[in-house]
Every structure is written in C-alpha cells, then in structure tokens.
Structure 1
C-alpha cells in the first residue's frame, strides 16, 4: 500500500511554481512506500521511556495503559473478533460495508474503532496492531480524504475516530521511534487540513462542533509529536519536518492570546531547540504572529503570500478576514476624502479578487463607486463602517488556489 501521509521531507517542502519557496503538499501523497520505514533507526531506551511517558500524558483521556513488553499481532486493520461483533450489531461505518450491506464487512474495509477505556490487562495481542499494520491502516484512512463520493464532514468523522485508535495502539505498545514520528506527522496533517475545511463550512452548527473537537485533537496530537521529536533528538540533526510542525503551533495563537496547550507561548519558546527556533519556518510564523498583533496588515499579507506553506495557510485562513477588516478600517478612517482608494490596488494589497473585495467592503458597511473611466473605487471617511457580525462568507486568498488544484 502506498504512503498516504507524505514523502517525508519532500511532502512539506516542494517548491512553489515561480515563487522560489517551500510549500506543503496536499495529502494523501502517494509517492512513498511503507517499506521505506524499515530503514529508520530507533531512539535510545532512556529517551524512549521519557517520550512514552510524555505521549501518554497527552492522551490520558483515552485511558490507554502502556506496556513496554506488549507487541500486537493483529494482521488486519481491525481485529477479527471486533469486526465479527460489529457485524452482528450492524455497527459498521459507511466505508466499512461490503457492497453497502450494513451487516457485512471484510478485513480490507473494517478499521478498528477508538475505545475510550482500554488496558493491556484485558487486551490480547491479537487485538493490537503492530507498527507495520498501523502504517498501512493510516495510509488507507488518509487515502479516503480524496473521496468525492461523500461529503468531507462524513469522511472526516470516520478518519477522526480511526486515527485516535491508531494513536491508542501506538501508546499501548510504547512505540516511540521514527516510524511513530512519521505517523504522527500524517495525523497532525489530517487535523490541520480538517481545521481549514471544516472552517469553510462553519455556518452549519454540526460542523462547528466538529471543528471544535478537531482542534482539541490537533493540539493533543501536536504535543505528542513534539515529545517524539525530543525522544529521537540528535544534537547534530533536526528532523526534516520538525520546524514546520513547530511553526503550526505558533500560528495556532493567531486571533487571540489563547494558550492551546495551557502555557504562555514565551515559556514554550524556551524549550524549543535553537536550530528549530532559527529555522525559516519558525521565523515566518513568529513574523506573522507579530504582524497580526501589531496590526501591520501589509507585512502580514506580503509575508504570507511569499512564504506560507499549505499547512500554514490552513491554520491562518480563519484569521485572514480579520486582518482585512483591520486594513479596511485603517484605509477608511485614515484616507483622504477627496482621493478614493482604487479597488484594484486594494485587492492586490489584501490578496483578494476585486469582485470579492467589493462584496467584502459592502459586508463591512462600506459603499463602492466608479470613476469616469469605469474603475471601481472605495470612498474613504465613510461613517457606516462596522465590523461584520455573524462572520464572513468564504473569500479567496490569491495564491492559495495553487494548493487546492
């Protein structure tokens, strides 16, 4: 089965056409083979033990009790006895049904469900999947995200639950090597892209709930990934994707002074290694966060358009319209009344289509006009400006379309 969670380094660093910078690759990537994991090394036992304890602490709600001597032997994506039981109960997701039959599945379709309370004391080795099977399972799950047959929310709900089960199996077997890192990166990537796609459908109350739950699992999975990086840390080497995934955590602080992992960002920075802290990905994230908080909308948009990867865009998109509102406010109240602002120039500044910008201005209570040549203008000093209530419709960001093709 082909790798669904990226081609290690290349999946997050492909150059963007004509821009000369890195970009994230949409997933699932079908370029790497699972067998290539076999060549990866394993961390020292002391580092592994520390990471195992840290990973477990980030998944305590799952009540997974680890065992250093526990090795799964299940050869399928779902243990046979669970599959048979769920067939009897007709508890099969739409992706697990053989020929659409809600009471029949197969080893090639059924995937182990997440169980909140589980312990190795009551689990047999045949109920736990070894790392190679977990890799294949994750590849299969991520491949479903390309499905056009079902709504994204439906696919997300299934992958969301089954990836939690994968993390649980990894924790219970104390797997903290580089194979686990690549799997966690794939799962973080899933949650990051879901963060963006679910946000695009936030008008639906059910989707808003999914978005909230996805954010919870995103922060937990990121925390576990950081612990795995630490366990496999080498003084002369930084993991190939480590800097970008650390930058995602910084970008999660956009929009407010929230603390996704329960601590100030300044304290978190103190624990980040110097090579990661000085990487271009982290410098980008810190600059974006600084521009956002200082209200420097020009630097925010120029930096984002020139340097952001797809994963970074996915985190930033919910906040881009907030910066656009700030820009409109500054231009409206700071502009010269006798010199309306050309909408074409403003659209280039805010990286938005001119037609979308006109709608955006109207949404903010601003009227637009045209000059004698037919060019659209934004008159300034309008007293009707207001911050839109109830959110925005989805507006474009010029450049993001390249990632979504």
Structure 2
C-alpha cells in the first residue's frame, strides 16, 4: 500500500506549479533545495531557480495535518512535472546518473502521492504510471553494477512492482484499447519472469491483447523459464529482437545472473565429468556472457575449474552458488540503449518536445 493511501478522502489540487510556492519558500529559507533546483552564481553562491524546484516526497505521520488543495498538483501539472523530470533532468550530463536517479526517484514518489490523495486514475493515471514504470525499469538496468551504498535494487524493484500492478489494474477497469498496453503487459510478465500470478494474469487478458506479438514473446519466455529451458529463454530474449522496445530486454536482464547460475548448476550435473571440458567460447554464446573471459570468471565464482585450454570442467560436487550475484551490463543492450535518446526511451516520444521547450 502506498503511504498516501492513509488519506481517506480525496480532494482536488489547485497548485499550478511543479512545487507549491510555500514549499519553495520554506526549503529556500532552510537551505534544503537540491543542487538540481538552482545554479551557482559567479561568486559560487547557490541561487534558486523556482521553475526547477519540484515537490519533495513527504511521508505521512500521525498528527500531521491533511494537505490543502494548494499543496496538491492536478493531473495536468503532474504530467508536466513527469515530462520535465524524464525529459530534462534525466538527460543532464553535469551530474552523475546515480545522483539524478535519487532526485527523480523522490520527486516521482511525490507525484504518485499526489495521485493517490486526489484519486487520480483513468487515462491520466495510466499515462503517468506508464512513464514512471519506464524510469524504474531503465534505472534497474543502468544502475545494476552500482554498490548498495549508491543504489538499492530491492527498493527500486519494490516501486517498479507497485507501479506495474497499479497500472495493469487500471488497464482492466478503464475503457480498452490502450496505446501502450502491449508494452506494459509484456514488461509485467518479464519483470515477474516465471511467476504464477503473472502468468494467471496473462491468461485472464482478452484474446486480442494476449495475441499481440510482444506479449506472445513474453509469454513464451515465461513458459520456457518455468520449464528451466534457459537456452530458449535467452534466445527469445535476444536484444536484437527488442530494438523497438528497449526496456523489454532491460526487464529480461534483471533475471540474467540468476539464469546463468541455475544453468551452470544444471550443466554441472548433466555434464558431470573429471575429464570432459566444455569450451568457454561456446558457453559464452549460450549464456549471454560478453566473452570467454567473463564466462571463465563466472565459472570460477561457482567453484568450477577452468582449464588452460579455455574450457570448463563441469563437476557436480564442485559447484556452489556464490555468496553474492554480480550483475554486469550487456554490450548488446548498451548498444540498443545508446542508439535512442534517453528522453525518447522514458517518454516514448510523448511530452519530449514540451519538456525541452518548457523549463530552462
């Protein structure tokens, strides 16, 4: 349940800015503005740019007064806010992406809070949640190599799941034939790869939705995963097939390290031998490793012996799951993502021009 669900009665917001004026004044007075909400002048002093200030997330607490209409942004302002965050802030090159992520994560959480308090659903809720889901899935891939001190994947996954579930529930109750439903129903299946609840949801979809090409591919991947056919999972998830939907393969990548580990376990039993060595080059192609060197590193992390002839000895007794799974970017996915403007990935072309023309 969202924290904002604690508010029982919905009200209509009247704030016409990305941040209520009184919050801007308070944070400016208390020196609580984020570096992304202003600039430094020629003397090195921070100067607030009010058009860049975005409402912070505020956790509800016992005894805290309910928000006033002037504290809440209506749907059209929330859309402008999300387009600004994903079309302008996310693409900035003067800050590290982990810093951008922290800022955007908090501000999108405040957007969702305003949505819940005002009971914003329907087509407005769908449009907002679609963009927020894209951000979280992209961030899950982009930041997967960062240490826990910088990025917590469990928290990002939790918010991704919450947004996806709320989104697909809106698809169910709002009039059908949504423009991006194929993409997000597929992302839901891929994010929850092999999960029974996700598969049951797929079976409950109308036939014309289930038959959509991307959703059919996600379904086949999910079935292959349940049947422990890792080769088929990875073949169907091949990045080159997902150029139109780059986030599809980002959602698939979330499970890659686990798939590789489980497959090495199966191979250690199936090819159990003290003399027969399996070529690392072939293993690399099979399990989406970058090259033989990365395959060798992974095998050794799982307790397997790598020979001087660039091959691995699969031995059941030697295999062990590593204490920690290390995630790595995949060059084919990186290539696809780098070929598309980030604002277009996150906004799918919608609101990009408005975000670029809006705030300077």
Q: Shorter chain as normaliser: what TM range?
A: 0.7 to 0.9
Residue deviations 1:276-301 (CA, integer Å, cap 9, x gap): 22322332222222222322111111
- Report the more deviating stretch, 314-323 or 328-337: 328-337
Map 1:235-254 to 2 at 5 A: 238-254=177-193
User: Number of aligned pairs?
Assistant: 328
SS of residue paired to 1:77: coil
2:134 is matched with 189
TM-score by length of 2: 0.79
In the alignment, which residue of structure 2 is the partner of 1:404?
Answer: 337
Q: Which residue of 2 aligns with 1:281?
A: 214
Q: Answer yes or no: is 1:99 the counterpart of 2:40.
A: yes
| Matches of 1:341 and 1:86, distance apart in 2 | 61
SS in 2 for 1:199: coil
Q: Of 335, 360, 373, which aligns to 2:298? A: 360
What secondary structure does 1:224 align onto?
A: helix
| Aligned-residue offset at 1:129 | 2.5
- What residue number does 1:292 align with? 225
Counterpart for residue 324 of structure 2: 390
CA–CA separation in structure 1 for the residues paired with 2:7 and 2:45: 29
Q: Is the Cα–Cα contact under 8 Å of residues 90 and 102 in structure 1 kept in the other structure?
A: no
Aligned equivalents of 2:274, 2:330: Cα separation in 1: 28
Q: Which residue of 2 aligns with 1:328?
A: 264
CA distance in 1: counterparts of 2:316 and 2:188, whole angstroms: 38
Normalised TM-score (structure 1): 0.71
On the 8 A contact 2:4/2:116 being kept in 1, the answer is no
Bigger helix share:
2
Name the structure 1 match of 2:57: 114
List gaps (5 residues or longer) in structure 2.
339-360
Q: Deviations over 1:186-223 (max 9, x none)?
A: 1111111222334322x434533xx2222222222222
Residue pair 1:365, 1:384 contacting (<8 A) in 2 also: yes
Give the CA RMSD over aligned residues: 3.1
CA contact (8 A) 2:257 2:325 kept: no
Q: Given that residues 189 and 219 in structure 2 are in contact (C-alpha distance below 8 angstroms), is that contact kept between their aligned partners in structure 1?
A: yes
Match of 2:307 among 366, 369, 374: 369
Supply the distance in 1 between the matched residues of 2:316 and 2:155 (Cα, whole angstroms). Answer: 40
Shift in CA distance, 62/83, structure 1 to aligned 2, threshold 3 Å:
farther
Deviation at 1:370, TM superposition (A): 4.6
